[in-house]
Structure 1
Amino acid sequence: MDWWWGRGRSRRRVGGRLRKQLRRRGAIVLVFVVVGGGLWTYGERGIYDRMSWMGVPARGNSWLALHRVMRNDGYLVGWSDVRISPLWVSYELTPVRYADIPPRPPFKQDWRTLWPVATSSYRHSGYDRGHLAPNYAIAAVHGPAAQQGTFLMSNMTPQKPDLNRRLWQRLEEAVMDHFVPRFGRLQVITGPIYQDDIIVGALNRVGWTEVPTSFYKILVVPGESPRALAFVMPQDVAGDEPLSDYLVSIDDIEALTGLNFMPQLDPAMEAALEAGVNISGWGVEEVSSLPGRFD
């Protein structure tokens, strides 16, 4: 029996040593996970800050503005799992770097969205798959790999054809052909605006995706003395209206969306930049009534 008792004590000692080793290794793994996760979060935050001047758009007072940030090559998306739609996209534009633009790639479903927004979701709906981060501008500035990401369904919103193919297209052309060359660098934030009535909005969907009533685009020239220009365009347009008809303040868009744009701005600068409409220096009159490329 002594030999059996000795073996039992030996086993317990070995088991105790093994448990200590496992606990020690587990603690080391936990440290690596915590530190690595912290470094990854810090790194991602740095990338977000570089891709969205003065901070990514934040939720204001409305719970309907809850969203999570998804990163793509060339642009960020604020994705809503309630609207099943992007609430905003943010990207930086500079003069053209890639002159040879590849053909338009196919639309792709985004596995990161909780709900399956398929490439065929808009079929027979009467709505276009409207890009928020535009194909041409992202491809010309950020390259072919970034262009592929603009065809993810997480970058699409239901847009009526006369808005998507005409008025909105004309605004995108003015941004890339006129405003970027004029200033050299632009921060763009763009997205949809939804119904005030939650029930009506919940029922008005294309597939899973809620249909917006209108769309906004905010243009910012970053710097110590920044300037901004903002537009809101409704779904029901003819397409040939002057762009200047749709100028608004950033404060107006924040009230309509429940979002806080450029949350890291100094309050005094925020008030000066966001409270009014100031077209001085933009040359809006030069492009306001230009026809689109496809008109």
Structure 2
Amino acid sequence: MKIKNLLFASCISLAFASCSKDAMQEPVPVKPNQSALSSRQNAAVQAATVITEDFETGSKSAYAAADITLSTGSWNLDDALIGSTASDVKSGTKSVRIRNTGTLSMNFNVSNPTSVNIKHAVYGSDNSSTWQLWVSNDNGSTYAQTGSTITTSSSQLTTATFAISATGNLTFQVRKVSGGTNRINIDDISFSTGGGTVPPDPGTGGTPGNTTDNNNLLLGNPTNAQPSINSAANYLMDQTYYTESYNRDKGTPNWVSWHISSTDLGSSSRANNFRADINLPSGWYQVSNTSYSGSGFDRGHNCPSGDRTSDNTANSSTFLMTNMIPQAPKNNQQTWAGLENYVRTLVQAGSEVYVVMGSYGSGGTGTNGYQTTIDGGNVNVPSHIWKVVVVLPNGNNDLSRISTSTRVIAVDTPNDQTTVSTDWKQYLTTVKSIEAASGVNLMSNVSQSIQDVLKSRTDQGS
């Protein structure tokens, strides 16, 4: 599900518009009731002003250069059109399609934006292309590139984030710079102004505080992660099939959160296409598929490949390096593989589960001995790896069905090749213990009285 453009009707203008998406500004628990959600939304409105163009209101069926009026104002599309076919990748019913060296330009200004988010994907079965974001402070007379060149290679919408250092009234232009006749789709361009940050679109993964069933963050945002470049150690990333808090300086996630139902488990084979995450903010180090080579540690999934076998796209998403940690091979291939397989048997037997996995500390032991970092110091080796699984019978209104009798499996293992047991049940613990060790706040959307009971109980492992 997609949240459409949230520009308030009374505030739309060509030069300025304001809107808000749920940005989860407070770290306090949010209970699943309307008053709590309204309070959170009000806080988000006060904290951030966001202009979002989703291209749903415009029509342009030819590539010839022309101006069109959209909900945010007038835009110029040159060698570009508004696409609505089955081959156009979009989060609603329409997106921009650009070919050759086409451009998508604003004919209006945005005042003092701090960041820009742009969703992009390859059109249909076309090959990859590159594009750039350019900015003008003189109403489009002259432009300068901002951020790095973006490569579009995925057939699924992903988000490119640009930090904006220029100030004043700014005009932006998207320029396709390579790929020839290969086409790309652009959708949901969001400008954050007034010191705020652009919140994530919920997509399949959802937004913090969203109480929609099967939402990857239904139970809460464990560290109040934010999609802001100013939150580099706790950067919220919606990867559609899972949601995570990424730590730029550690080169690993702090935690990854996802939901598993029977529809997530299919027959798609393991993609094995480990790759850098090109959707990290411009200028951030991108851990590559070879960054762990020779280290003695596995590229250990947080959200496992086996939990996303419904189709090839879902499985491929789990091989982004932003989903990986350096994991001792025995820990990864035996201890954690056993736990992952067990959780999937619960789903296959008629349950749905909400999972959060994370790691903490520095210093683990792989096949080459003890190390605190790898990849020239760019990737931290965690000392411990944990997982919390909330198990529910299949059904609806999931938050309201969590009670003091709900099963919660909490596991915390050492990242140590030499001492770790292959039996994950040896590491059963309480949620409270994991929270104390890692600094997270789990199940924050569950009522406090139920949390208190569930977090203090150790599962029996069967």
Shorter chain as denominator, the TM-score bin is 0.7 to 0.9
Partners of 2:372 and 2:259 in 1: how far apart? Answer: 32
Cα distance change, pair 86–42 in 1 and its aligned pair in 2 (3 A): closer
The match for 2:338 is 170
Residue 92 of structure 1 is aligned with which of 232, 239, 259?
Answer: 259
Q: Looking at CA atoms only, which structure, 1 or 2, has the larger radius of gyration? A: 1
- 1:254 positional shift: 0.7
Q: Could you say what secondary structure the match of 1:121 adopts?
A: coil
RMSD (Å) for aligned C-alpha atoms: 2.9
Q: For residue 374 of structure 2, what is the amino acid of its counterpart?
A: V
- 1:241 positional shift: 3.5
Q: For residue 428 of structure 2, what is the amino acid of its counterpart?
A: L
Partners of 1:75 and 1:276 in 2: how far apart? Answer: 26
Tell me: higher relative CO, structure 1 or 2? Use CA pairs within 8 A at least 6 residues apart. Answer: 1
The match for 1:291 is none
- 1:58 positional shift: 1.8
Q: For residue 358 of structure 2, what is the amino acid of its counterpart?
A: G
Q: How does 1:1-295 map to 2 (within 5 A)?
A: 27-31=13-17, 34-36=50-52, 41=199, 43-44=201-202, 47-48=206-207, 49=210, 50-59=215-224, 66-96=233-263, 99-113=266-280, 114-140=284-310, 143-177=311-345, 179-195=346-362, 204-207=372-375, 208-222=378-392, 223-225=401-403, 226-237=406-417, 241-279=422-460, 284-285=461-462
8 Å CA contact 1:59, 1:258 repeated in 2? no
Partners of 1:139 and 1:126 in 2: how far apart? Answer: 28
Structure with a larger share of its residues in strand = 2
Q: For residue 347 of structure 2, what is the amino acid of its counterpart?
A: V
Q: Deviations over 1:228-252 (max 9, x none)?
A: 1100111225665432210011111
Cα distance change, pair 157–97 in 1 and its aligned pair in 2 (3 A): closer
- 1:106 positional shift: 1.5
More displaced, 44-53 or 147-156? 44-53
Q: Deviations over 1:265-294 (max 9, x none)?
A: 221111011122143xxxx34xxxxxxxxx
The match for 2:167 is none
- 1:147 positional shift: 1.0
Q: Could you say what secondary structure the match of 1:265 adopts?
A: coil
Partners of 2:380 and 2:420 in 1: how far apart? Answer: 22
Cα distance change, pair 65–272 in 1 and its aligned pair in 2 (3 A): farther
Q: Could you say what secondary structure the match of 2:433 adopts?
A: helix
Partners of 1:258 and 1:65 in 2: how far apart? Answer: 17
Partners of 1:249 and 1:38 in 2: how far apart? Answer: 42
Structure 1 consecutive aligned stretches of length 4 or more whose deviation exceeds 4 Å: 37-40, 237-240
Q: For residue 234 of structure 1, what is the amino acid of its counterpart?
A: P
Partners of 2:200 and 2:359 in 1: how far apart? Answer: 29
Between the two proteins, what is the percent identity of the paired residues? 25
The alignment of Structure 1 onto Structure 2 pairs a total of residues equal to 244
Partners of 1:101 and 1:174 in 2: how far apart? Answer: 19
Instruction: Give unmatched runs, 5+ long, in structure 1.
Output: 1-25, 197-202, 286-295
User: TM-score if structure 1 supplies the norm length?
Assistant: 0.73
Q: For residue 155 of structure 1, what is the amino acid of its counterpart?
A: N
8 Å CA contact 2:268, 2:309 repeated in 1? yes
- 1:42 positional shift: 7.8
Cα distance change, pair 171–268 in 1 and its aligned pair in 2 (3 A): same
More displaced, 218-227 or 73-82? 218-227
8 Å CA contact 1:59, 1:259 repeated in 2? no
- 1:227 positional shift: 2.7
8 Å CA contact 1:126, 1:160 repeated in 2? yes
Q: For residue 216 of structure 2, what is the amino acid of its counterpart?
A: M
Q: For residue 452 of structure 2, what is the amino acid of its counterpart?
A: A
Q: Could you say what secondary structure the match of 2:206 adopts?
A: helix
User: TM-score if structure 2 supplies the norm length?
Assistant: 0.48
- 1:28 positional shift: 2.5
The match for 1:18 is none
Cα distance change, pair 118–30 in 1 and its aligned pair in 2 (3 A): same
8 Å CA contact 1:101, 1:136 repeated in 2? no
Q: Could you say what secondary structure the match of 2:326 adopts?
A: strand
Q: Could you say what secondary structure the match of 1:87 adopts?
A: strand
Cα distance change, pair 107–188 in 1 and its aligned pair in 2 (3 A): same
Cα distance change, pair 186–97 in 1 and its aligned pair in 2 (3 A): closer
Q: For residue 355 of structure 2, what is the amino acid of its counterpart?
A: V
